[in-house]
Amino acid sequence: MKKCPMCGSSKTKVIYSEPCELRGGIPIMPEGIYNQAFCQVCKLLFVDSNVDDISLKSMYGNEYIDLQLTDPKILDKVEESETMIRLKYNKIRSIIINNNGNKWLDIGSQYGGLLELAKEDGYQVYGIDLCEEYCKFTEKRLSIPRGRMFSKDLLSGDYESNYFDVISIFETIEHIVDFKLYMECIRRILVPGGLFLMSVPVADFQRFRIFVKNNLKFKVGAKSKPDSQLLIHTHIYNFSLKSIRLLFKESNFLYVKAIPIGYFVSLSSSSLINKLWNIMTKIIFIEKKNFTIANNVLVIGRKI
């Protein structure tokens, strides 16, 4: 059993196992059993397997190689994705528009939804995504000058130190095995006092889903309920509030605040269910006790 990759504790245990998911008969990750482990000290959830960043880069770099980003279905997906991004952006816009400097880098920029909002607020935008098709699509859609979209890994790029005023990494760092090295690189290229924004899935919520999956048997008609989409093969980490604070401290970032966010990805952010859940996540949020009912958290920090 591995030690916790966040705090180094050996007090870890496997709480859920699942075989590699097949997509169209082809494994999206190396085949085998993937174990979800839980750290009893910092409350991090992590995949206890031999997955590495090389496998992940291969998957993300090739998964969308035949993507036709002018297809109406893709554009619908862009709109759905950007609805959730706008929800998060609106929660922190007052901080963003009062931030010094105007260079914004988004890591894992995908369709460019976050960059579009940042550009509207006057930022010079830059993006990183392993999928080259996404970079070309975003560059064209947002009329971004050439040389600002990078289809290569953050660690392999030659990025200038103390250059960007804002760096965001939404729904991305949980996919990266060596996340601490990424944090070091982010800190290096961010200006002193620069704004760091991170959005990640919450471990407590995922533990609840695992409990339900392990202990409750749902039936839809005569068929079992489909997979709960825990994404155990690609979400290498699910961060607890405690582990996030520890990560910021070890990476020499000033931890400013965390904003809980609750939503069902299958529903729009304007749906009544998502509106009510967002209200409840704000009310039922006891950060000092590391308790939240949110499935996602948006964390704000600054480079010390």
Question: Is 296 a residue whose pLDDT tops 70?
Answer: yes
Residues 298/258, Cβ–Cβ less than 8 Å: yes
What span, in angstroms and rounded, lies between the C-alpha atoms of 88 and 187?
Answer: 22
Residues 203/238, Cβ–Cβ less than 8 Å: yes
Select the more confidently predicted residue: 238 or 274: 238
Q: What is the pLDDT of residue 231?
A: 73
The residue among 3, 84, 35, 5 whose CA lies nearest residue 233 is 35
Structure tokens at 260: 């809980």
Out of 28-32, 88-92, 175-179, least confident range = 28-32
118 pLDDT band, cuts 50/70/90, is very high
Angle at 241 between CA 116 and CA 3, to 5 degrees: 110
Q: How many residues does the chain have?
A: 304
**β-strand partners of 238:** 45
196 pLDDT band, cuts 50/70/90, is very high
Q: What is the pLDDT of residue 79?
A: 62
What span, in angstroms and rounded, lies between the C-alpha atoms of 183 and 166?
Answer: 14
Could you report the per-residue pLDDT of 42-77, keeping only the tens digit for each?
A: 999 998 777 666 666 666 655 554 555 556 555 666
Burial 193-222 (b: 16+ CB within 10 A, else e): ebbbbbbbbbbbbbbeebeebeeeeeeeee
Structure tokens at 98: 């009062």
Out of 66-70, 133-137, 153-157, 187-191, least confident range = 66-70
| pTM of this structure | 0.88
Say if domain 53-200+297-303 classifies as CATH 1.25.40.10. no
Q: Return the domain boundaries, the chain.
A: 53-200+297-303
Region 260-278 average pLDDT: 82
Question: Is 247 a residue whose pLDDT tops 50?
Answer: yes
